[in-house]
Amino acid sequence: MAIAPLTNDSKSNLLAKIAANTGETKPVVGDGEHNLLWKIAANTYATATTGGGGGGGGTGATGATGPQGNPGGATGATGATGATGATGVAGATGPTPADLIIACSDEGTPITVGNNKVTFRMPYAMNISNVRASLTTAQTSGNIFTVDINNNGTSILSTKLTIDNGEKTSTTAGIPPVISDSLLGNDSEITIDVDQIGIGNATGLKVTIRGTQA
């Protein structure tokens, strides 16, 4: 850029500014004055005489984002399944049910009073829970049909089995049986007695002994 010539007055003012800003206290003359003026023209004060100073430069653009860091390591493998626990101890086996059904007569012959209508031996020891008797033909009238059960010759009933007139089973009897000896030993001899009958037309007597093997 060309520098306009300076008048004496403007030169004096400019030199005074130089002295105030550079700390120079001695007048600058001759060649030194010439060099100093050119230094001013090349730098701040020459620019000031031709127009306002340019504004400060804008803030530089933000730098590009750096590359993303390495991803984390892969998820580890699932651990092995633990061993199956031991099987618990099996519970105790319950008692084995036992039912004995004994035919004490044929199906057509009227039943009479008498001991040992049938005799048999126990195939195993047994705890008795229930006894009952039944008929194929019900007795119509007379004394109540009564049956006893013996274990080795001794009754196991404190109240005998009875079948009411017109009924075929002791389960409907007005007086139920009462068991006084509930344990039958293995190989015990069991006998069935008919203690009482009525009119005498009943047929087909069966006795059932129910319980569990002992």
Please say whether the beta carbons of 118 and 191 come within 8 A: yes
Tokens 């007569």 map to which residue?
Answer: 105
- For residues 6 and 18, what is the distance between their CA atoms, to the nearest angstrom? 15
Give percent of the chain above pLDDT 70: 66
Q: What is the pLDDT of residues 158-207, one digit of tens each?
A: 999 999 999 999 999 999 999 999 999 999 999 999 999 999 999 999 99
pTM equals 0.59
Q: Would the pLDDT of 123 be above 80?
A: yes
User: In the predicted model, what is the mean pLDDT of residues 145-159?
Assistant: 98
pLDDT of residue 7: 57
79/64: higher pLDDT: 79
| Predicted pLDDT of residue 62 | 61
Q: What is the DSSP letter of 142?
A: S
73 pLDDT more than 80: no
Mean pLDDT confidence for 29-41: 55
